[in-house]
Chains A and B, each alone.
Chain A
Amino acid sequence: MSTTTGESPFRIMPAVTDRNRHFWTGGKDGELRFQRCKGCGYFLHPPAVICPKCWSKDIGIEAVSGRAEVLTFSVNVQNWMPGLEPPFVLAIVGLPEQDDLRLTTNIVNCDPYEVTIGMPVQVIFEPHPDQEVWLPLFEPVTKP
């Protein structure tokens, strides 16, 4: 998995905590990481402290494939705040590892108006090393 090229745009950063650090820093090692229950195998997102399926507190961290599918999206045109230059794509992507494992993200490295629901995408990280954050973005799958 790769990182975006060029200078990273201004972003409001997440407050990184012991609970979510794996998610926001996994990109440093090229990995999209989630909590996963060691008892029943359920992926937890957003991060939690107890498995909502089996109540186990034995929760590990696991990297997923980084592949995903666009469940829905919007081409944002309004300039709300400094940072990304509109138009840009906001999307909810679903991960193949689990039916309800999904996240909000941006789709990059393509024409915003060519994004479609169902499009296969793969993770790419936008580095903000001074903030200890590697943002997981997604780009169209280019290779099989």
Chain B
Amino acid sequence: MSEATDLIGERRAVVSGAGQSDIGRRLFRDPLELTLDACLAAIEDAGLTTADIDGLSTYPGAFGPGGFSGGGMVDVHDGLRFENIQWFCGGVEFPGQLGAVINAALAVSAGLCKHVLVWRSVWEGSAQGTGGRAAVMPGGGGSGSFKASGFMEWVLPFSAPSAATWIAMFAQRHFHEYGTTREQLGQIAVNSRKNAGLNPKAIYSEPMSMDDYLSARMISTPLCLFDCDVPCDGATAFIVSRADTVADLRKPPINIEAVATALHGRPSWDQYHDLTSMPAQDAGKELWKRTDLKPTDVDVANMYDGFSFITVAWIEGMGFCKKGEAGAFLEGGHNIARDSGVLPLNTNGGQLSAGRLHGFGFLHESCVQLWGEAGERQVPNTPEVGVACAGGGPMAGTLLLTHRR
């Protein structure tokens, strides 16, 4: 640890409750209903009431087309009719989706509020179901007079509207420089599907073999269908509380040991200096400066897999193996196995099989595992140290969590 302990403000914050709505491929329900279901579940899980909630935090706010957001700040503030909000923050330019959780931790650490409700809600499954893929593509699939601007200006004219194609180029460069193979990358998807088989809320739970993976249709080389996460409907919520409120809580909270939010290079999908990694490596590097714990202390890791290669960037970036060695680390899948691996990975099935809850599912799963509430998919010898990592491309946020018994 290189940071002075009194500057690690996130340690004054805990995760005191977690909640999730129904999750499905296409639920065709009002997304705000799912959002509020998750929020109320989290408040109840913490043993609090809406009167105790004095902070609100969310990603991405009421932003984006195609089911990207199922409820912003106004929707939830008014939807549950909070009367004692001291601090709130919702937005999209965060260090990854879990930036909303980190913001909440910093707000309680700073004494602005005591119990923050944090949520992320998606309904991309239903949105695609009614409008087809074009409904979620920038520019509505190319109809009308839409013109690309911002980062999209530099990729959309080249017919590259999906992050699948941008991430594929990072994977290709990693394969080229380090000899990583499709079989090695495929372990992420195969491992997730195995875990999803034990998760009653997972979208895809039927078994998938490596042969199934390798014979799946290609999307954008070297990424195939099973390297891409599955759009879904669902909401996830947490309560982030000030650590000294523990007496008010229903159960022992999860401690936040450290967080990291770094972005050291250019803030861009295609201009970032290292085409074999992402700012996940910047956040990972900074995280370990804020703790005496080491990567080898981590008992369970839930790390972003919007596309499988992003998990590779996190595995290396977090120091679970050396840079360029993720292929060897993933070989055979033993290291990441839920029941016997050195690093049980994406134990609920990740976004690849359990649905694209967009970042918040990883923190939910790490908390549930640390609380020992994961049921059939519980990692053996209830884990005490977990990580949750979210974000791909130029956004990365990570939390190191502990729950000592």
Contacts and interface: CB of A to CB of B under 8 A. Distances in A.
Interface string A106-144: 100000000001000000000000000101010000000
Interface in B96-123: none
Contacts of A16: 147
B169 A73 contact: yes
Nearest to B161: A80
B149 A14 contact: yes
B153 A90 contact: no
Contacts of A102: 270-271
Residue among B133, B138, B165 with most chain A CB within 10 A:
B165
Contacts of B271: 45-46, 100, 102
A104 B154 contact: yes
Interface string B42-79: 00000000000000000000000000000000000000
Contacts of A45: 271
A91 B147 contact: no
A104 B272 CA distance: 12
Interface stretch (B32-40, B217-225, B380-388): B217-225
B134 to A, nearest CB: 7
B139 interface: yes
Given A12-B146, A83-B142, A103 B157 contact: no
A38 B177 CA distance: 36
Interface string A61-83: 00000000001111111101111
B147 A15 contact: yes
Contact of A14 (B133, B153, B166, B221): B153
A80 B162 contact: yes
Nearest to A77: B218
B234 to A, nearest CB: 24
A77 B219 contact: yes
Nearest to B160: A90
Interface in B158-180: 158-162, 164-166, 168-170, 172-173, 176
Contacts of B214: none
B172 A117 contact: yes
A72 B160 CA distance: 14
A84 B158 CA distance: 9
A82 B137 CA distance: 11
A104 B147 contact: no
Contact of A76 (B134, B220, B273): B220
A12 B139 contact: yes
B148 A12 contact: yes
A3 interface: no
A103 B133 contact: no
A82 B141 contact: yes
Nearest to B177: A117
B223 to A, nearest CB: 8
B137 A71 contact: no
Given A81-B134, A92-B270, A14 B160 contact: no
Given A10-B142, A13-B147, A78 B164 contact: yes
A15 B148 contact: yes
Contacts of B374: none
A106 B158 contact: yes
A72 B153 contact: no
Nearest to A15: B147
Given A77-B220, A81-B134, A14 B155 contact: no
Contact of A13 (B157, B161, B273, B275): B157
Given A88-B159, A102-B270, A104-B154, A117 B173 contact: yes
A46 B223 CA distance: 27
B342 interface: no
B61 to A, nearest CB: 24
B210 interface: no
A72 B133 CA distance: 27
B198 interface: no
Given A12-B139, A92-B270, A100-B273, A76 B172 contact: no
B156 interface: yes
Contact of A90 (B141, B165, B176, B217): B165
Interface string B272-288: 01010000000000000
Nearest to B173: A72
B220 A90 contact: yes
A139 B53 CA distance: 59
A135 B158 contact: yes
20 contacts: A11-B157, A12-B138, A15-B149, A46-B154, A72-B173, A74-B222, A76-B159, A77-B217, A77-B219, A77-B220, A78-B219, A80-B137, A80-B161, A80-B162, A80-B165, A81-B141, A82-B142, A90-B159, A117-B172, A133-B157
Interface of B: 133-134, 137-139, 141-142, 146-149, 153-162, 164-166, 168-170, 172-173, 176, 217-223, 270-271, 273, 275
Given A72-B173, A74-B172, 16 more contacts: A12-B138, A12-B156, A12-B159, A13-B147, A13-B157, A14-B148, A14-B153, A73-B169, A74-B165, A75-B218, A75-B220, A80-B161, A90-B158, A90-B159, A103-B154, A104-B166
